[in-house]
Structure 1
Amino acid sequence: MTRALGPFPITPLGLLVGLGCGYALVEYGFGRIDLVLLVIGAVGLGVAAFGLLATTAGALILWLHHRKRGQAKDASEGSLDVECGYPVPTGFWLPRLRALPFVSISWRWITPEAQVRIAPKRGRLREEVIASRRGQVAVVVRELEVGDIFGLTQICLRLTERRKVRFVPSVGQLKRVDVIRGMAGGEDISHPEGPQEGELYDLRAYTPGDPIRFVLWKVFARTRQLVVRAPERALSPIRQTCAYVVAGSGDEPAAGAARLAVELGALGSEWVLGADGSNDDATRKDQAVDVLARSADVADPVGGKGLGAFLQRRGKGSIGRAVVFVPGRPGPWLDNVAEQCKHVGSRGGRIEFVVGTDGIIPPPKRKWLARLAIREHAPEIPPGSTAPVTTQQVAEVVRVLSNAGRVIVVDRAAGRMFAGGHLHALDKQRAA
């Protein structure tokens, strides 16, 4: 109905004013020679008619401008990257129509969802958008509204622009993301008869088949026990890191932390990034941004179900070093992740979880009478919400994930990281 009535130029207010002024002009102005209502009716009908003419002409001019611009296909307007939370100029503009007085022009984005700011500059209305949710689209649909300043007339048009737009998650105030370093075989020179990963000299009890020249006879003389020297396994940081982003309610801070970790090299020199909703893993920064953008389309109940397949695909039998970025608000994803991590320990490694938040606040206090008489329902949080989480919510996430690995919490709004004693304090607040 909105699209059908969009080109109709008269608003309900304009229809009411037009009928009222017409009735006053005919019935009282001409019929009873009421000069006051005669003037009011004539002026009202004149303003409505002028507004209708100006609105129709303005809408036609803007539609022709957009059509001509679409046919020209300006090469300077290619793909667009928009960082969530910040105004970004898109290059889209419309003329101000100064020759048509009393005409107001505005528009908004229908697909994808984004807040639009219109900045007048040099006879043009230039567009800036602010996105709150990451994602990517190939078509932008705008709804243009042209009307008079009195609100009597208005024409709504749909403007479609084929353009690749990618919304990337914001890093906020975060300056760094520290993740644990896993260990693997080192590069030191090993004993000729030992494995290539390490060097001598570890001590262990003698077993049949060990070379006699490795026996420590001085130790045998004192303790009467045969002890041999064995190659010691040298350890060094793992070069490749497996990172994964879990999609769920309030996952924008986690996606922003993952983007910062990739850009700053916190994952190491060699890394691979996966996310819910994407079967293609990223090994470059540009691929990582695409993977993060595609994860925004994942439904909330499905979040976290791809973690097990990712670790099996990239772990190659041993997890080694794995970092999982998760939301700070509990949801269906939490049970999915806990289920996927049950057999992590048997595959030779533990996972480090990075919990992303946009602020941590204490839960609202309720009186004992309200707690007994009223059942409080959890509010529905939109997927792209940047609302802070409560201490109880983040403590529940930390408690569940601590069974599978090490947990750190990052606050994107404040640019802080919490681990160790801070997390224990959250757990105590939750228990209290």
Structure 2
Amino acid sequence: MLYCQQRQSRNLDRTRNLVAGRVRNSLLPHRKRWMSLIFLISLSLGEARDKIPFPYSRKTSLLLVTQILPNTMVKLCAKAWRYLAGLFPLTLQGTITLLFTSWALSEYGYGAMDLVVFALAICGLSILVCCLFCTVGFGIFMQRKIRREIANSDTSLNNIEVEAGYPNETGFSLPAVSFFPLVRLAWKIIYPDEIATLTRLDSENQLREEIIPSRRCLSERVVREFSVRDVLGLSQFSWRLEQAVSCKALPQVSAVKQLPILRSLTAEDGIPHNTGDPEGDRMEIRPYAPGDSVKNIMWKVYARNRQLNVRLPERSVFQSKRTLAYLLTSKHDEAAAAVARVALETGALGEDWAFGADGFESPVSDLSSALQAIAGSRSLDGGHDYGLDRFLGHAGNHGSAHCIVFAAAEKNPSLELLKNTISSYSGQFSLIMATDSLQEEQNPAWWKKYLLRRDSNAQPLSHSTRHALLHLLTEVGQQVESTLVVDRETGFSFDQYLRKV
């Protein structure tokens, strides 16, 4: 009896730990999980926890209440605020104008019977009401018109395939409407994120959409936020529309044009071995035997000593008949994705290769699928898990395969997991680290930090100092066969001692 109770207690503890680990990585987005979260709060705060058997422990319940619930509530409040702000037709400037004119009209226009203030306040309120009606009326008209345009359009013709950092036309356009006075229409893409949206009026009186993505992305839908504003900025009418189109943005390669080091890593000479195939150099010399080709006879030697000898290719094996390449994702991995793209497009991985990335652990061997994996390796809804172990498992754990890993030139959790993978994998590894700017460590004056601040809408660059990068290369380079650092801004490559290659 005592043994059965102990066994049930161990099973219950194991279930609690398993559930706790899964709950830490989730935000309870569904309604059923919200109900379970409310039940956990009641269990953690009341006395029913000791009476009702439940697989969540008090520690896990407190974790849910103190960490997951506040984060979820903040996201819900931000979403509700954006929704309510879109419904409210007045901007901050319009709200201040309404309050100020109303106060001036009640205090001075009617209270002090000041006719000048009365006239100015009435004019201000009239302009505000006129702008408000024009904005709302034009917004409702354009909302229905745009929905009809999107519903009748062929989505297969509007697939977006662009490159980050350059202006690109998406094919989306709207007719310019000019019969509504004092208002203007504008829109921007909010999903995928980090895309600057521009509109251009062409000769056919059409508003053409141009985008400048700052980072790579891959999505099967595009969400646009349309807004109608008056020319005075007093009112606005905004709404969001989702369109089921494919959007793929590849990373910007900048000055990186070729990677000669990768070709030398994969195009290795064979090692002489008796079990190999006759694919090496013509180094083996032996007497002629019946059946040998006449082309292999050494005729100059026969002319000197009248002996027939043949020169044959020696038997050899290649260290790497297949190259595996993998992209590790992190916060500043755009340069690493660009270097991986250049390696694929220039054929630096050789003829027989397989590629994968975080979020796309299944190996692919064609260029289009590999570029799609690079674009989709940046998660839009949350970070991808470390997947190099699963990629090597799918590709086959062959000791002769050479794996090239692309990563950002910064210390991140993926590099710590990479060390464990290298120690457990029997093949060879090469690490290609990429950065956007390799510079010396500097301590600028305090006034430069505020006056020379980088634009927040600019592309997020990853800067690496030589001291920090040398320390990282010393730490990681001891476990890999070779390392290479690529600066995307200049296109230069450096070895493990930061000497230019």
Q: One fold, TM greater than 0.5?
A: yes
Post-superposition offset of 1:62 = 1.7
Give the Cα–Cα distance (whole angstroms) in 2 for the partners of residues 66 and 106 of structure 1.
12
Post-superposition offset of 1:181 = 3.1
Q: Which moved more, 1:396-405 or 1:65-74?
A: 396-405
Post-superposition offset of 1:66 = 1.1
Which of 440, 443, 446 is equivalent to 1:365? 443
Post-superposition offset of 1:267 = 1.0
Which aligned pairs between 1:77-226 and structure 2 lie closer than 5 A? 77-113=157-193, 114-122=195-203, 123-178=205-260, 179=262, 180-182=264-266, 195-197=276-278
Post-superposition offset of 1:264 = 1.1
- Note if 1:293 corresponds to 2:375: yes
Residue type of the alignment partner of 1:357: T
List alignment gaps of at least 5 residues for structure 2. Answer: 1-80, 286-312, 447-455
Give the Cα–Cα distance (whole angstroms) in 2 for the partners of residues 14 and 308 of structure 1.
57
- Contact in 2 for aligned 1:302/1:333 (Cα 8 Å): no
Give the structure 1 partner of residue 101 of structure 2: 21
List alignment gaps of at least 5 residues for structure 1. Answer: 204-230, 371-380, 426-432
CA 121–160 in structure 1, closer or farther in 2 if over 3 Å, else same: same
- For the residue of structure 2 that corresponds to 1:296, the secondary structure is coil
Which of 472, 482, 489 is equivalent to 1:406? 482
- For the residue of structure 2 that corresponds to 1:414, the secondary structure is coil
CA 323–117 in structure 1, closer or farther in 2 if over 3 Å, else same: same
Give the Cα–Cα distance (whole angstroms) in 2 for the partners of residues 37 and 299 of structure 1.
53
Residue type of the alignment partner of 1:410: V
Give the structure 2 partner of residue 416 of structure 1: 492
- For the residue of structure 2 that corresponds to 1:77, the secondary structure is helix
Post-superposition offset of 1:127 = 1.7
Residue type of the alignment partner of 2:128: A
Deviations 1:53-78 (A, max 9, x none): 21012212220221111220235633
- Contact in 2 for aligned 1:300/1:333 (Cα 8 Å): no
Give the Cα–Cα distance (whole angstroms) in 2 for the partners of residues 15 and 363 of structure 1.
48
Post-superposition offset of 1:255 = 0.9
Residue type of the alignment partner of 1:8: F
Q: Which moved more, 1:67-76 or 1:404-413?
A: 67-76
Which of 95, 119, 128 is equivalent to 1:48? 128
Q: Alignment identity in percent?
A: 28
Which of 143, 147, 158 is equivalent to 1:67? 147
How many residues are aligned here? 379
Residue type of the alignment partner of 1:249: K
TM-score, normalised with respect to structure 2:
0.67
CA 58–280 in structure 1, closer or farther in 2 if over 3 Å, else same: same
Give the structure 1 partner of residue 411 of structure 2: 330
Give the structure 2 partner of residue 271 of structure 1: 353
- Contact in 2 for aligned 1:183/1:320 (Cα 8 Å): no
- Contact in 2 for aligned 1:276/1:298 (Cα 8 Å): no
Which of 432, 452, 469 is equivalent to 1:394? 469
- Contact in 2 for aligned 1:277/1:298 (Cα 8 Å): no
- For the residue of structure 2 that corresponds to 1:341, the secondary structure is helix
- Contact in 2 for aligned 1:185/1:233 (Cα 8 Å): no
RCO higher in structure (CA 8 A, sep ≥6):
1
Deviations 1:143-172 (A, max 9, x none): 222111222111121122111111222212
Post-superposition offset of 1:355 = 0.7
TM-score, normalised with respect to structure 1:
0.77
- For the residue of structure 2 that corresponds to 1:6, the secondary structure is helix
CA 14–299 in structure 1, closer or farther in 2 if over 3 Å, else same: closer
- Contact in 1 for aligned 2:363/2:395 (Cα 8 Å): no
| Aligned-CA RMSD value | 3.5
Residue type of the alignment partner of 1:258: A
- For the residue of structure 2 that corresponds to 1:326, the secondary structure is strand
Post-superposition offset of 1:291 = 1.3
Residue type of the alignment partner of 1:359: S
Give the Cα–Cα distance (whole angstroms) in 2 for the partners of residues 234 and 298 of structure 1.
48
- Contact in 1 for aligned 2:321/2:401 (Cα 8 Å): no
CA 357–283 in structure 1, closer or farther in 2 if over 3 Å, else same: same
CA 142–300 in structure 1, closer or farther in 2 if over 3 Å, else same: closer
Residue type of the alignment partner of 1:145: S
- Note if 1:314 corresponds to 2:314: no
- Contact in 2 for aligned 1:330/1:393 (Cα 8 Å): no
Give the Cα–Cα distance (whole angstroms) in 1 for the partners of residues 201 and 381 of structure 2.
39
Post-superposition offset of 1:237 = 8.1
Post-superposition offset of 1:41 = 1.6
- Contact in 2 for aligned 1:398/1:423 (Cα 8 Å): no
- Contact in 2 for aligned 1:48/1:152 (Cα 8 Å): yes
Deviations 1:161-190 (A, max 9, x none): 1111112222121111220334678699x9
- For the residue of structure 1 that corresponds to 2:241, the secondary structure is strand
Give the structure 2 partner of residue 217 of structure 1: none
Give the Cα–Cα distance (whole angstroms) in 2 for the partners of residues 275 and 332 of structure 1.
16
Which of 329, 332, 352 is equivalent to 1:250? 332
- Contact in 2 for aligned 1:7/1:156 (Cα 8 Å): yes
